[in-house]
């Protein structure tokens, strides 16, 4: 039972973080708060990929001459780290685009509240 | 946001920290072959050092460092460095982005790959730095308009 | 309406936690993604990168090798994506400014 807990608690924290992000998207009226929820949701996915890349008793993905490369169990899996490295930077850039669109919306309608915005558009 | 920050202590701290962050950013880019690091992380650090001066010192002080119109050409240079590396390798007879075919005489193929990775890391770092600074500048512009 | 949303969110979390109990143990070296061979007998990519990264490029940092060499076209497309994001901020905000005058 304890073994099961230590094998799975990282997944539960990631799921809780994902639900916090979904809560921000679903419940908050302000568009900036919705965007923050979107960022939290994205970070939870990044944390999930990093957590499944781990191996017990393994070292980081930089080659050490003392540790042989033949036994794969000595090193972490480098592929999820690489994918998440690019995903983080794309996330920052798309967050910049999201805030740009919010600034454009605010310049035109002078509000960021969802219901007021729907009223003003119609 | 475009004016100087009111407290001189914040400005002094930002001016003290900014060059060291910039040197560390270049270290992270160049030393990315041997330690955790690379183009994306180093580019983010370089952008942090520039944005620190921009936030604390206002736009008048920031124009001494890197001007607003210079960020778009820097981003284009970063992307073009990456693309040209692949194109040169393709013109020299290999595949696109196959660093083995880079026309540098007297270097073994595995060390050619080493050099190719270093070149594209510098390109990525330049592009990421310029684009993050560009996003900040445009946001400040859009906010001023309102 | 709000109660329905809360119910959906709690149900979503419950289903995900129930499904996560079937995931492999975190950090177990015998996981399929850490194995040397997949079920169909091909080489697992992470394993290949660990064993051949230094021999191919003389670079100790495997993440850099995967980013810059094995998956370099992916990285190039990703750089184009962030460049496009920067251009979008330029076009959207500067355009609205000129229109207002």
The token pair at B69 is 């119109």
Which residues, numbered 63 to 92 in chain C, qualify as contacts with chain A under a Cβ-Cβ cut-off of 8 Å?
63, 65-67, 71, 74-75, 78, 81-82, 85-86, 88-89, 92
Per-domain residue ranges of chain A: 2-121
Domain count, chain C: 1
CA-CA-CA-CA dihedral for C61, C62, C65, C68, to nearest 10: -90
- The mean pLDDT of B116-142, rounded to a whole number, is 91
Q: Is the pLDDT of residue C31 over 90?
A: no
Q: Which partners does chain C have (≥3 C-beta pairs < 8 Å)?
A: A, B
- pLDDT at B2 (0 to 100): 61
| Chain A partners within 8 Å of B128 (Cβ) | 89
Least confidently predicted of B1-10, B92-101, C21-30 = B1-10
Indicate yes or no: CB of A86 within 8 angstroms of CB of B132. Answer: no
Sign of the torsion angle spanned by Cα atoms B121, B127, B130, B131: negative
Is C23 within a domain?
no
Q: Is the pLDDT of residue A13 over 90?
A: yes
Domain count, chain B: 1
Read off the pTM: 0.89
Q: Is the pLDDT of residue C35 over 90?
A: no
pLDDT single digits (tens) B50-96: 999 988 888 788 888 888 888 999 999 999 999 999 999 999 988 99
What are the respective helix, strand and coil percentages of chain A, to the nearest 5? 75, 5, 20
Q: Closest CB to C59: pick one of B33, B96, B128.
A: B33
Q: Is the pLDDT of residue B3 over 80?
A: no
Nearest to B130 by CA among B49, B64, B68, B72: B72
| Chain B partners within 8 Å of A104 (Cβ) | 142
Domain hosting residue B40, numbered range: 8-145
What does the angle CA A41 – CA A42 – CA A43 come to, to the nearest 5 degrees?
90
| Model confidence band, residue B22 (pLDDT cutoffs 50, 70, 90) | very high
Coil/strand/helix, residue B94: coil
pLDDT single digits (tens) A65-75: 888 888 888 88
Least confidently predicted of A40-44, A98-102, C96-100 = C96-100
Q: Closest CB to A7: pick one of C13, C16, C26.
A: C26
The token pair at A106 is 């605010």
- pLDDT at B1 (0 to 100): 53
Considering only alpha carbons, which residue of chain C is nearest residue B131? C86
Q: Is the pLDDT of residue C36 over 90?
A: no
A33 in Cβ contact with A21 (< 8 Å)? no
Q: Is the pLDDT of residue C100 over 80?
A: no
Q: Is the pLDDT of residue C23 over 80?
A: yes
Is B1 within a domain?
no
The token pair at C57 is 């490029």
Least confidently predicted of B39-53, C5-19, C87-101 = C87-101
- The mean pLDDT of C29-55, rounded to a whole number, is 85
Any C CB within 8 A of B86 CB: yes
C81 in Cβ contact with B131 (< 8 Å)? no
Is B80 within a domain?
yes
The CATH code that applies to domain A2-121 is 1.10.287.3510
- pLDDT at B145 (0 to 100): 61
Measured CA to CA, the distance from residue B84 to residue B110 in angstroms comes to: 20
Looking at per-residue pLDDT, the higher value among B144 and A18 belongs to A18
Any C CB within 8 A of A71 CB: no
Is C80 within a domain?
yes
- pLDDT at C94 (0 to 100): 78
- The mean pLDDT of A49-60, rounded to a whole number, is 88
- The mean pLDDT of A39-68, rounded to a whole number, is 90
Q: Is the pLDDT of residue B106 over 70?
A: yes
């Amino acid at each position: 039972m304890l073994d099961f807990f230590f094998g799975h608690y990282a997944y539960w924290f990631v799921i809780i973080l994902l639900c916090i992000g979904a809560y921000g998207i679903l419940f908050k009226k302000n568009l900036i708060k919705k965007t923050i929820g979107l960022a939290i949701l994205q970070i939870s996915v990044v944390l999930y990929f990093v957590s499944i890349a781990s191996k017990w008793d393994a070292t980081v993905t930089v080659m050490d001459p003392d540790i042989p490369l033949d036994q794969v169990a000595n090193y972490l899996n480098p592929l999820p780290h690489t994918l998440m490295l690019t995903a983080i930077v794309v996330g920052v850039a798309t967050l910049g685009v999201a805030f740009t669109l919010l600034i454009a919306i605010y310049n035109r309608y002078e509000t960021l509240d969802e219901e007021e915005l729907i009223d003003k558009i119609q | 946001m475009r004016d100087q920050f009111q407290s001189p202590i914040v400005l002094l701290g930002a001016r003290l920290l900014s060059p060291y962050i910039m040197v560390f950013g270049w270290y992270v880019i160049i030393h990315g072959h041997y330690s955790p690091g690379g183009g994306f992380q180093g580019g983010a650090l370089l952008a942090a050092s520039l944005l620190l001066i921009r936030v604390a010192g206002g736009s008048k002080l920031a124009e001494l460092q890197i001007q607003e119109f210079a960020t778009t050409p820097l981003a284009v240079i970063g992307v073009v460095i990456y693309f040209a590396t692949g194109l040169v390798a393709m013109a020299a007879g290999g595949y696109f982005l196959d660093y083995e075919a880079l026309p540098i005489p007297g270097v073994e193929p595995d060390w050619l790959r080493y050099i190719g990775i270093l070149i594209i890391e510098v390109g990525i770092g330049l592009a990421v730095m310029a684009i993050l600074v560009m996003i900040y500048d445009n946001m400040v512009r859009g906010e001023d308009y309102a | 309406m709000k109660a329905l949303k809360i119910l959906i969110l709690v149900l979503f979390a419950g289903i995900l936690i129930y499904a996560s109990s079937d995931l492999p143990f975190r950090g177990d070296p015998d996981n399929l993604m850490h194995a040397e061979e997949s079920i169909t007998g091909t080489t697992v990519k992470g394993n290949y990168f660990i064993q051949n990264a230094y021999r191919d490029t003389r670079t100790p940092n495997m993440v850099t090798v995967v980013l810059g060499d094995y998956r370099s076209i992916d990285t190039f497309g990703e750089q184009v994506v962030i460049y496009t994001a920067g251009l979008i901020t330029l076009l959207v905000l500067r355009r609205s400014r000129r229109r207002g005058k």
